[in-house]
A and B are shown apart, each in its own frame.
Chain A
Amino acid sequence: MAVRTIEVRERVMARNDALAGGVRARLRDAGVVALNLVSSPGSGKTALLERTLGALGGELEMAVITGDVQTQNDADRLARHTDRLVQAVVTGGACHLDALQIETALEAIDLARTRLLFIENVGNLVCPASWDLGEAAKVVVFSVTEGEDKPLKYPKMFREASYAVLNKIDLLPHLDFDVAAALANARSVNPALRFFQTSARTGEGLAGWFAFLRAQAGAGAPA
């Protein structure tokens, strides 16, 4: 049989990364800083954003894109804390958001009225690590009800992230969670990670998170 081999050598993620590059350029030109929030399910991403929208909504212009496999429950929750449209992307089974979905969602967002864009990714510590969405940075959220070794079990996600939020710290008195060990594990995977320790329920530690967001919003503003 005549068998012909065609050399391809094309990265599988090349198309997504090209789209993400376009999203990143568009956001940069508009002076919008996009933060991609990634985590396992139930770590408190939505609660953290509820607190954030409630506290900073009158001060910073913020928009949100939520990603869920099914339902727009998170978008509905967040919409109660902002008068801005919360864009819900229902992936219909896919375990992550991709750059095309973000490009499409941006069509409904008034970027001229936005300084900070939160992308609440699908709750999953594996797949979203591989998809560039055009964000300025990934923020990995994990909580004290998870194991201290989460960073070691999911190193790609913690390597890809620039910031880590350790959430639900109000529960520490009731748990055996070792904060120092968790932070050490995360640093062993990514020494450059910057940490926040928060409780989205009580508000503990949120001042540092809010200060960070104010700085981000200022840094992204067009000259």
Chain B
Amino acid sequence: MHELSVALEIRRIAEARLARSELPQLSAVGVEVGDDSGIEPENLRFCLEAVFAEPPFRGARPVLERLGGDVLRVAYLEVDDGCPDH
């Protein structure tokens, strides 16, 4: 039930970690979700897709990794600048 609150906090973490110009370039958000974290992963995925569909984001893809224990952590952010590889 509280997955939306968690998704909004993940969005806040992403905003804090990225420069303003990078926000629309965020392509994936890696989140570690423990089996005992109290989070229903598919519900969290739904909420993340919703909050990252809003500007300035352009639909970053949530990548959830199931782990043991109660971990709930943003593991990484993936930014795609849209430019060809150097």
Contact = CB atoms under 8 A, between A and B. Distances in A.
B11 to A, nearest CB: 11
A174 interface: no
Interface in B56-86: 70-86
Given A1-B83, A95-B2, A129 B13 contact: no
Contacts of A130: 2, 37-38, 72
A180 interface: no
B1 A127 contact: yes
Contacts of B1: 95, 124, 126-127
Interface stretch (A3-11, A52-60, A161-169, A190-198): A3-11
B2 A127 contact: yes
A10 B75 CA distance: 7
A156 interface: yes
A1 B80 CA distance: 7
A12 B72 contact: yes
A4 B79 contact: yes
A8 B2 contact: no
A96 B72 CA distance: 17
B36 to A, nearest CB: 7
B77 A98 contact: no
A1 B5 contact: no
B75 A98 contact: no
28 contacts: A1-B84, A2-B85, A3-B27, A4-B79, A4-B80, A5-B76, A5-B77, A6-B76, A8-B74, A8-B76, A8-B77, A9-B75, A10-B17, A10-B74, A11-B71, A12-B6, A12-B73, A12-B74, A13-B72, A15-B9, A16-B9, A126-B38, A127-B1, A127-B5, A130-B2, A130-B37, A156-B38, A156-B70
What are the nearest 9 A-B pairs in CB distance? A127-B2, A95-B1, A6-B77, A8-B74, A12-B72, A130-B38, A4-B79, A3-B80, A2-B81
Interface of A: 1-13, 15-16, 94-96, 98, 124, 126-127, 129-131, 156
Given A6-B77, A156-B38, 11 more contacts: A2-B80, A2-B85, A2-B86, A8-B30, A8-B74, A10-B73, A12-B9, A15-B9, A127-B38, A130-B38, A130-B72
